[in-house]
């Protein structure tokens, strides 16, 4: 039974990894998915993800905000402090399930599928740039009434969105948690940061790509039964054109920001911040964690996890929670310096 559980867990990790970094899920309202509905693996994955949500104390909701039909997971008691968890490029809310398991007993947890990802539907001409997605996220936060004293966490590209959010809404942000956060760093020295177009090398576009991509993203990829892996790989190949479009947005982000403009933005963040990085990250090298700390006003010494790659929320979810929970408990006691200044002025 233990061996069976390990295989299922390994497959779940594969499924969520694929959603997270290789795929742009097909949620453009005017652009139906070309993927066959007869494929059995997606339903198996969805059933398992439903079990994961339930185990984490999460339930699924949807809400219409403007032209975005948001899908999100919610868990914990609403009377508790709220945490907003933001997934990475082409990911889904389910990337956070195993971390959320540790958070929902003591916190109110919200995990949305970002626009054009997962089950969140948008018009075909929707602008998926970081500034617009951040603004749309703010409207979502207001709609479900969680903006006050919000604890914001983001992984990878979700870290950039979280940083922009904290910068733009400093009065409402109680704390910030950045995991292997995307940014325009002076010390970035991987091939992907030097040339973001190389992120397209992470797209599964032909048989055999999946193993290679997993080893680039994770330090210790899970072992997965061949039949399941091949079926998932076929799905990813069918989704490759959508993934490419999402990566084009990352390239656009690089054109908007330079290390200097990114630094100016980051320096405006007032919230206490925890930074966590996988030491073996091949997308954003671990040295940039120190650079990021130097830009933030109230950042703690970065937590570096050894033997972990770009995806600590999947590779080391318990370690992530072990570091995040004490920081959360401490940060709830902090006063917002901007609010204090406003009180003094009044």
| Each residue's pLDDT tens digit, 172-212 | 999 999 999 999 999 999 999 888 889 899 999 999 998 89
Three-state SS at 275: strand
Quick one: DSSP state of residue 186?
A: T
Going by C-beta distance under 8 Å and a sequence separation of 6 or more, which residues neighbour residue 164? Answer: 130, 131, 134, 265
**Residue ranges of E strands in 66-140:** 68-75, 82-86, 108-112
Going by C-beta distance under 8 Å and a sequence separation of 6 or more, which residues neighbour residue 328? Answer: 81, 83, 107, 151, 175
Measured between alpha carbons, how far is residue 134 from residues 86, 115, 169, 267 in Å?
Answer: 10, 10, 11, 18
Q: For residue 278, which of 343, 323, 224, 222 has the smallest C-alpha distance?
A: 323
Quick one: DSSP state of residue 71?
A: E
Q: Pick 270 or 251 by higher pLDDT.
A: 270
Question: How do residues 218-251 score in pLDDT, each as one tens digit?
Answer: 998 877 667 667 767 877 787 788 778 778 877 8
Three-state SS at 24: coil
Domains plus CATH for the chain?
Answer: 2-345 (3.40.50.1820)
Q: Pick 223 or 49 by higher pLDDT.
A: 49
Beta bridge mates, 176: 152, 273
Global pTM value: 0.87
């Amino acid at each position: 039974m233990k061996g069976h559980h390990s295989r299922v867990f390994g497959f779940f990790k594969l499924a969520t990894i694929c959603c997270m970094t290789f795929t742009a899920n097909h949620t453009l309202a005017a652009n139906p998915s070309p993927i066959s509905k007869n494929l059995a693996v997606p339903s198996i994955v969805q059933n398992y993800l439903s079990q994961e949500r339930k185990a984490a104390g999460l339930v699924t909701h949807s809400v219409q905000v403007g032209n975005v039909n948001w899908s999100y997971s919610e868990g914990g008691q609403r009377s508790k402090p709220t945490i907003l968890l933001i997934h990475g490029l082409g990911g889904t809310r389910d990337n956070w399930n195993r971390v959320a398991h540790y958070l929902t007993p003591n916190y109110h947890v919200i995990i949305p599928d970002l626009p054009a990802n997962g089950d969140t539907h948008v018009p075909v001409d929707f602008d998926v740039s970081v500034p617009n997605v951040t603004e749309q996220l703010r409207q979502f936060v207001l709609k479900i009434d969680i903006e006050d004293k919000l604890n914001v966490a983001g992984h990878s590209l979700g870290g950039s969105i979280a940083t922009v959010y904290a910068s733009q809404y400093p009065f409402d942000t109680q704390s910030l948690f950045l995991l292997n956060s995307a940014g325009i760093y002076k010390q970035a020295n991987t091939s992907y940061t030097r040339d973001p177009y190389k992120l397209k090398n992470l797209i599964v576009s032909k048989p055999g790509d999946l193993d290679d991509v997993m080893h680039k993203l994770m330090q210790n990829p899970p072992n997965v039964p061949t039949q399941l892996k091949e079926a998932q790989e076929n799905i990813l190949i069918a989704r490759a054109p959508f993934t490419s479009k999402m990566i084009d947005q990352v390239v656009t982000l690089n054109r908007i920001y330079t290390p200097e403009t990114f630094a100016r933005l980051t320096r405006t963040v007032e919230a206490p911040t925890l930074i966590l990085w996988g030491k073996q990250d091949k997308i954003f090298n671990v040295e940039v964690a120190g650079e990021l700390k130097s830009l933030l006003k109230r950042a703690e010494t970065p937590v570096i996890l050894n033997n972990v790659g770009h995806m600590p929320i999947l590779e080391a979810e318990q370690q992530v929670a072990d570091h995040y929970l004490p920081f959360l408990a401490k940060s709830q006691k902090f006063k917002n310096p901007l609010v204090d200044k406003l009180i003094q002025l009044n």
